[in-house]
A and B are shown apart, each in its own frame.
Chain A
Amino acid sequence: MIPAAADMKALVQVEDLAKTFDVSGPWLNRVVERKPRQFVHAVDGVSFSIPKGQTLALVGESGCGKSTVARLLVGLYAPTRGSVHFGGHDTAKLKGAELRSLRRRMQMIFQDPYASLNPRWKVLDIVGEPLREHGLAQGGDALRDQVGELLRSVGLAAADCVKFPHQFSGGQRQRISIARALATEPEFLVCDEPTSALDVSVQAQVLNIMQDLQHRQGLTYLFISHNLAVVRHVADEVGVMYLGRLVEQAPKKSLFSQPRHPYTRMLLDAIPDIHMSGRARTPVQGEVPNPLNPPQGCAFHPRCPHANARCSSERPALRTIAGIRVACHAVEEGRI
C-alpha cells in the first residue's frame, strides 16, 4: 500500500536531537585524582522526518548512537537538546492524559528476545499489559480473546497465551514482543535490531510478518540495524550514522547503488555477502574511534581516504544534494 501524496506528511519529525551521557567517575575520585568530567555525546544533532506508512532505517556500527536515537524517540531517555514531533505535537511538552495518548500511538520492539519478556509472567499477562494499562481491556474471557487475536496476527496460536516465555524459541518470543507492541493499535513502531539475535530463517519469518502488518495496518517504522542486507529489504529510506551524527540519508535504491559519503562506501564495500563474494574491494582502514574522545571536525576524517585540512577542523553540515542528504566536505566540494 503506497500512501497517496496527500498522506505523505511527516508523522515523525526530529530536529537537532542530541543526548549526552555523563560518564565521569565518582565525585570523590575526580577530586582526589584531579580528573575532569567526561561526557559521551551519544547522539550529536540528528534531524530527520518519517512520512506516514514508510520505513526509515538507521544503520551504523557500535557507538554510532542509533539505539540511543530509538530510545529518545519513545521517551526512555530525555533529550539533552532538540525536539521530537509526533503527529504535529512536540512530545516533550505533553503531560498527563496527552502523554498517555502518545504512548498508545507509538511502541517499541527490542533486540533481545530473551530479555524483552518478563520471565515470570504468562504470555496472556505480557501481551495484555498494554491493554490493561490503557483501559482497553474488557475483563476476563474477553481479554483472552483479545490477546488470542493478537497472537494469531503474528502467526502464533491463541492457546499459547497460557504459556511462559521460556517455553518459546527466540523467533516466537520476538513475535510475542510484536503482538505486545501492536496491542494498542499504534501508528508508529520503533524497532531496535528486532532480528539481529535471530537465526536467518527465523529472521525471514519475522521480517515477512512485519512487512505484512505494515501493509495491512499502514504502520510507520523506524528500523534500527547494523545489517545492511536486512535494511535493504525492509527500508524505504536509509540513514547512516557514525559516532552520533547522521552522515548520509537517501532513498534505498540511491544509497545502495550510489553511496555518496565515504563511510557509506566503506561500509557497503566491507560487508561479507553471499551473493557478491570475491569482489574487488578497497581495504578498510582503522576502527571506530573511542566515543569519549571523538576526532575534531568530521568524525570520520582519520579513516577517510579523501580527507583534507578542512575535514580535520570543521564539522560538515548535513546538506541536501539532488534529493540526498550528505554531511561531507568532499561531496559538497565536488571532489568525489
Chain B
Amino acid sequence: MAPPPLLEVKNLRVEFPTRRGTLLALDDISFDIAPGEVLGVVGESGAGKSLTGAAIIGLLDPPGRIASGEIRLAGQRIDNLPYEKMRQLRGRRIGAIFQDPLTSLNPLYTIGRQLVETIQTHLPVDAGEARARAIRLLQETGIPAAEQRIDQYPHQFSGGMRQRVVIALALAAEPQLIVADEPTTALDVSIQAQIIALLKRLCREHGAAIMLVTHDMGVIAETCDRVAVLYAGRVAEIGPVQDVIHRPRHPYTAGLMGSIPAMDEDRERLLQIDGAMPRLNAIPAGCAFNPRCPQVMARCRSERPELVDAGATRAACWLVHEAVSS
C-alpha cells in the first residue's frame, strides 16, 4: 500500500488577465509527489514549468493567479491560504532554490546571519543552537572551514559555493518538499554534477522530496525518479525517468528526446520537430501539439486528450488512447 502523496496538484489552472484578454498559462495540470521522491518537471520555454513551481510556493507574480484547481501538501490545501499563513509555510515545509545564486542571497548580510534567521523563524531554537545547526548544514553541503566561512558575505564565495549555501538555506528549517527551479543552469558544467549529487544526497538524508524544474534532460536523467513533460501549459507525458527517456509514448516526448545530441553515438542529423511551441494567445484547439505532430489524426485537431496509462508511463495522446482501447 503506497504512502499517501506528499504533494497533490489537481487540475491546476493559472491565468494571466491582460488587456488583450485572459491568457491561460497552465491548463489543467495534475501530478503527485510521494514523500522523499524526486520529480522532474521538464519543458521548453513557455511550457509553464517555472509557473508550476511558483504556483506551488505561492509566489505567482500578479496579475497571474490560480484560476481553479487544488494544491495539497500532506492532505492540506495550500493554494487558497492567506498571505501570512503561506509565508509561514514557505521555508518551514516547502523550501525553494532558484536559478541565480547571486540574487537568492542578500549581499548585505553574512550567510551565517541569513541561515540563523531562517532557522529561528521556523524552528523554536535559541541563537546558539541555531548557529550550531547552521554550521552543521554548511559542513553537510561541503563548504570547507564552515566555522570561519559562516561569517563571510555572499560575494566572498564562488558561484558553486553560493549555490551550496542556497541549498543549505533551503534545508535549514527541515522542509518536507524542496522546489528547485533551474538550480544548476547558471553554473559551470563541471560544478553542475557536484551540485546535483549534493542536492540528491542531502534530500535523501533529510527526508525531503524534490520538485526539480529544468529544461536540461541530462540533469533530469541523473537526479529524478519520475519526470513530467510539459507542453504549452499541459502535461504531455509523466512517468519513471528511464521509461520516459527511452520508451516515450507521446510524439512530443519522442521528438524531444530525439533532438538531444548524444554523447555516446554519432547521428548524421538530429531529429527535429518543425515549428515552435505555440504562444499563449494562440494555442491550437484539441491537442496543443497537433500542428507539429508527425502522427497527427483528425481527432487531434478538435478533441483534447486526457492523460491515460500507456504501459510504464502516462501520456496525453489519442494514439495511446487508441492503442489502449484496442
Contacts and interface: CB of A to CB of B under 8 A. Distances in A.
A205 B270 CA distance: 8
A207 B268 CA distance: 11
A143 interface: no
A274 interface: yes
Contacts of A205: 272-274
A203 B270 CA distance: 9
B139 to A, nearest CB: 17
A287 B269 contact: no
A165 interface: no
A275 B262 contact: yes
B191 interface: yes
Nearest to B262: A275
Given A203-B259, A208-B270, A270 B44 contact: no
Interface in B91-138: none
Contacts of A202: 44, 276
Interface string A57-91: 00001100000000000000000000000000000
A228 interface: yes
Nearest to B292: A201
B202 to A, nearest CB: 16
Contacts of A228: 189, 263
B160 interface: yes
A271 B221 contact: no
A233 B270 contact: yes
B270 A171 contact: no
Contacts of B272: 201, 204-205, 208
B230 to A, nearest CB: 12
A271 B45 contact: no
Contact of B256 (A171, A201, A256): A201
B45 A170 contact: yes
Nearest to A281: B193
B218 A271 contact: yes
A274 B241 CA distance: 10
B259 A272 contact: no
A63 to B, nearest CB: 9
B276 to A, nearest CB: 5
Given A228-B263, A275-B263, A277-B222, A267 B190 contact: yes
A230 interface: yes
Contacts of A283: 194
Contacts of B161: 287
A98 interface: no
Interface string A255-288: 0100000000011101111111110010110011
Contacts of B11: none
Contact of A273 (B158, B218, B256, B273): B218
Contacts of B276: 169, 171-172, 202
A200 interface: yes
Contact of B262 (A207, A227, A229, A284): A229
A200 B256 contact: yes
Nearest to A155: B274
A319 interface: no
Interface in B140-183: 158-161
B217 A200 contact: yes
A273 B263 contact: yes
A284 B192 CA distance: 10
B217 A287 contact: no
Contacts of B222: 272, 277-278
B263 A276 contact: yes
B191 A271 contact: no
Contacts, number: 123
B45 A287 contact: no
Contact of A272 (B158, B216, B256, B270): B216
Contacts of B78: none
Interface in A93-132: none
A227 B271 CA distance: 18
A201 B44 contact: yes
B259 A211 contact: no
B158 A207 contact: no
Contacts of B191: 284, 287
A226 interface: yes
B61 interface: no
B34 interface: no
B314 interface: no
Contact of A200 (B44, B221, B263, B274): B44
Interface-central residue, B192, B263, B276, by most chain A CB under 10 Å: B263
A230 B215 CA distance: 15
B263 A256 contact: yes
A270 B259 contact: no
A287 B160 contact: yes
B270 A199 contact: no
Given A202-B276, A203-B259, A270-B192, 10 more contacts: A199-B277, A204-B260, A205-B272, A208-B270, A208-B272, A228-B263, A233-B267, A272-B196, A272-B218, A281-B193
Interface of A: 61-62, 169-172, 199-205, 207-208, 211, 226-230, 232-233, 256, 266-268, 270-278, 281, 283-284, 287-288
25 contacts: A61-B189, A199-B44, A199-B277, A200-B44, A200-B259, A200-B260, A201-B259, A205-B273, A205-B274, A207-B261, A229-B218, A232-B261, A232-B262, A232-B266, A266-B190, A267-B190, A270-B189, A271-B218, A272-B196, A274-B217, A274-B218, A275-B262, A276-B264, A283-B194, A284-B190
Which 7 pairs of residues, A with B, have the shortest CB-CB distance?
A: A204-B259, A272-B218, A199-B44, A277-B221, A233-B261, A204-B270, A274-B221
